[in-house]
Amino acid sequence: MLCKGKPYRRFFLLFCDILRNKTIFIAPLDWGFGHATRCVPLIKQLMENNVIILGITPTTGLIFNEEFPELKKINIEPYNISYSKWLPLSVKLILEASRILGVIKKEHEQLKSIIKKHKIDVVISDNRFGLYHKDVECIYITHQLNLQAGIFSSLATKIHEHYICKFNQVWIPDFENDKASLAGSLSRNKSSGNVTYLGPLSRLNADGAAKEQFDYICLLSGPEPLRSELESLLIEKARKSSLKICLVRGSHKTLGNIPQNITVYHMPMAKELGQLIQCSRTVICRSGYSTLMDLHHLHKKNVILIPTPGQSEQVYLAEYWLQKFGARIIQQKELKDFSF
């Protein structure tokens, strides 16, 4: 059971409104771009009445430098989590536990000097375990109160709860109502008293009806090497198709020979990305939670999910979205039978 805390308002805008005239330090985990992108609407709301300082790594800086060029940024310790082609993510994280614990210790020590130097009043951490301090209000953002980690799920949840209890508040980017939940059992823990459900967070804007331009849009994000592996598989499939395909890359690396039916975008800004998704008939993407929040916000229903191999959370979310929202699932190993 999570540690208890005082109750808070449940609505995102009203909840942000209680933070006024503060200096707020915000830093997301650098596990792909999702943690950073979902912080964007929160930052935009809070910066209206507060001074915002962002903690960035080389990964999250790609998002925040474009979205918030005017805000002060501080480089913090990167987690640098990568996937293995062969090992389940839970096993990979266990093997890297010593290094990750070292990162948590370093970021905790770094936070002390940041708070002192910049007179921080509030710290908001999106899944960064070490960003807590006893002398300031510390808020933890996560969509997982019950972790999916295969046979290690119970142990992983207990470790997560150990760190959550060091924070004053927990903000969940999901609906509080079970029937409306986008994360399913991941975000459910009714016994906790310090949890506030903000509702889903998306930086994308729904601009209404859009004229269809693409048959498929492939959203290729997430840590390497599996992002590039999926990209290569889909490009090879596209060579055998005459359909119009939009390829949105979470990378600036140069691509080789691209078929004429593919239009490539390298990390488009939020406005352009929202438009691209809206003008595409079918979305192909990983079942990462931030991406799913974006698709929900844009009312996209024709979705094909390819869970990241070995990541139990994405496997669960894909199955949940299949049952609840009618998404289609293709395992990456089954792509040999897929055609556009």
pLDDT confidence bin for 4, thresholds 50/70/90 = very low
- Of residues 319 and 80, more confidently modeled: 319
Note the pLDDT of residue 161: 86
Note the pLDDT of residue 1: 36
HSE (side-chain half, CA atoms, 13 Å) at 80: 10
DSSP 204-215: ----S-----EE
* Domain boundaries 214-330, CATH class: alpha beta
pLDDT at residue 200 is higher than 90: yes
Average pLDDT, the chain: 87
Note the pLDDT of residue 8: 34
Distance CA 189, CA 85 (A): 32
Residue 237: closest CA among 276, 281, 274, 284: 284
Domains 12-197 and 214-330 share a fold: yes
pLDDT-above-70 percentage for the chain: 89
Note the pLDDT of residue 7: 34
pLDDT confidence bin for 155, thresholds 50/70/90 = confident
> Would you say how long the chain is, in residues?
340
Q: Say which residues have a Cβ less than 8 Å from residue 322's Cβ, sequence separation at least 6.
A: 305, 328, 329
- Of residues 25 and 147, more confidently modeled: 25
Q: Which residues pair with 169 in a beta bridge?
A: 139
pLDDT confidence bin for 170, thresholds 50/70/90 = very high
Least confident of 7-16, 36-45, 321-330: 7-16
pLDDT at residue 128 is higher than 80: yes
Q: Which residues pair with 246 in a beta bridge?
A: 217, 263
Note the pLDDT of residue 11: 47
270-278 and 289-297 helices, crossing angle to 10°: 70
Tell the CATH topology of 12-197.
Answer: Rossmann fold (3.40.50)
Q: Which residues pair with 245 in a beta bridge?
A: 216, 262
Q: pTM to 2 decimals?
A: 0.88
**Residue 271 host element (H or E):** helix 270-278
Mean pLDDT across 27-54: 93
Domain boundary assignment for the chain: 12-197, 214-330
- Predicted confidence (pLDDT) per residue in 16-32, tens digit: 666 788 999 999 999 88
- Predicted confidence (pLDDT) per residue in 270-298, tens digit: 999 999 999 999 999 999 999 999 999 99
pLDDT at residue 256 is higher than 50: yes
Distance CA 258, CA 315 (A): 30
pLDDT at residue 9 is higher than 50: no
Beta carbons of 238 and 259 less than 8 angstroms apart: yes
Reading across the β-sheet that carries 137-141, which strands appear in turn? 72-75, 51-56, 23-28, 122-126, 137-141, 169-172, 195-197
Beta carbons of 307 and 287 less than 8 angstroms apart: yes
End-to-end CA distance of the chain: 46
